[in-house]
Amino acid sequence: MRSVYDNVKIVTAVRPSVVTSTGTPVAAAISACDTQGYNTGMLHVAVGSATGTAITYVVSIQVQECATSNGTFTDISGATGTVTGTTTAAGLACDIRIEGLGTSRQRYLKVTPLVTPSAAGHDIPVSAEFILARGFKVPVGNSASVSG
């Protein structure tokens, strides 16, 4: 019997990290995603509430692609999103659909979330995951039937 786990892969794109002023999470928190073997995907970005006195912030999200995991990534046209929040807003999220994996997209994806708070010195937590689906290669060790 097959389940959702057979054709879906979740890859952490931005490990939970905090941005304290205008900028992106530290480079070590951002990872490239290998999309080989999947036909479609999406990016889920989660943003927590900012700490400190009342501020607003905007997180601008851009998905990028590259033929190699450590090459020069370029923006994917239309693969963008925005999250606008405040110190009291919690659990905000943005989902971006990514089509053309294995055909018109390059193999590796990366996300660049740019955080812009109305005042510096506030912690704004950000995390992101790529969710890949419609896998055309069955995972190793997977079987449609169980013997025994």
pLDDT digits 0-9 by tens, 56-102: 889 999 999 999 999 999 999 999 999 998 887 777 999 999 999 98
Going by C-alpha positions, the residue among 38, 56, 55, 35 that lies closest to residue 111 is 35
pLDDT digits 0-9 by tens, 6-56: 678 899 999 998 888 888 888 888 999 999 989 999 999 999 888 877 888
Structure tokens at 108: 């590796």
Whether 47 contacts 90, CB under 8 Å = no
Structure tokens at 36: 């080989």
When pLDDT is cut at 50, 70 and 90, the band that residue 143 belongs to is: very low
CA angle 100, 104, 110 (to 5 degrees): 70
What is the CATH number assigned to the segment(s) 4-135?
Answer: 2.60.120
- pLDDT, residue 147, reads 38
> Higher confidence at residue 144 or residue 61?
61
Annotated domain spans of the chain: 4-135
- β-partners of residue 18 are 125
When pLDDT is cut at 50, 70 and 90, the band that residue 3 belongs to is: low
Phi, psi (rounded to 5 degrees) for 28: -65, -20
